[in-house]
Amino acid sequence: MASFPRLFEPGRIGRLEVRNRIISSERRANTDKNGYVELDLPRKGVFDVFTQGLDAADHTLLGSVYVPDLSGISIHEVLFPYLKKVTYTPSALALTVGQTDEIEVELESSNLQPLSGKKVLDALLVFTSSDPAKAVVGVDNDGKLQITAVAAGVVTIQVERVVGSFAPRRPAVAALIVAPSAPTVTVT
C-alpha cells in the first residue's frame, strides 16, 4: 500500500465540517493496492498537503491545494493542477494605428480553481503578438490583455504556458485549449 499525503487546513476558513462532523485535526490517507484513495474534504477549501516518503522522511510541505465543488475528482488533478483552457472576449479587435483596446481573459484549471489577475497570468501564461511591428500585447493590473496597434495589418495574439508552470505527468498534460480561437487584431 502506497503512502499518500496528509491534508490539513490549520484554521484558514474557520470551522471545517464534512457530513456534519468537524475536522479538527489532520487527515491522513493511504492508497489501496490499486492506487485508489477516497478522502472527504469540504468543497472549495484550500488545504496544505504534506508528503512523507523515502526522499522526504519528515513531513515536507508539498503545497496548498484547492478542492473543487465536485462529487469526485482524480487526486492528481487536485495535487498537480494545470491551466487547461483560455477563453478570450472579444475574439477579434479592429484598431487604428496608435489605438489601444483590451481583451478579457478567462482561465480554466484542471481542478476548476478560480484563477484571475495579472500575477496569475504572468505566472502561468506568455502572450505574444504574431507580428510585434503591427501590434503589441501586454497584461494590465486587472489581468486583461492590452493590445496596442502599431502599424496596419492583421496579427493574432498567441499564448503559451510558462515553462515549469505544471508538474510533469503521464500521460502528458494536454495542449492548452484556446477558445473560441486565438484573437485576431486588424489594424487600419
- pTM of the full predicted structure? 0.74
At residue 111, the 3 state secondary structure works out as coil
Burial class (CB in 10 A: 0-12, 13-18, 19+), 169: exposed
What are 128-164's pLDDT values in tens digits?
999 999 999 999 999 999 999 999 999 999 999 999 9
26-40, 91-105, 113-127 — which is least confidently predicted?
A: 26-40
pLDDT at position 180: 83
Q: What is the C-alpha separation between 92 and 184, in angstroms, rounded?
A: 5
Q: What is the C-alpha separation between 79 and 49, in angstroms, rounded?
A: 8
Contact 113, 80 (CB under 8 A): no
Q: What is the C-alpha separation between 47 and 140, in angstroms, rounded?
A: 30
Checking if the pLDDT of 5 tops 60, the result is: no
Residue where the block lists cell 505566472: 123
What are 44-53's pLDDT values in tens digits?
878 777 766 6
- Reference 101, options 130, 144, 143; nearest CA is 144
Q: Where along the chain do its domains lie?
A: 6-79, 83-187
Residue 4 banded pLDDT, cuts 50, 70, 90: very low
Quickly count: other Cβ atoms within 10 Å of residue 183's Cβ.
23
CATH code of domain 83-187: 2.60.40.1080
Rg of the chain over Cα atoms, rounded to whole angstroms, equals 21
C-alpha distances (whole Å) from 147 to each of 5, 89, 98, 102 are: 44, 13, 10, 6
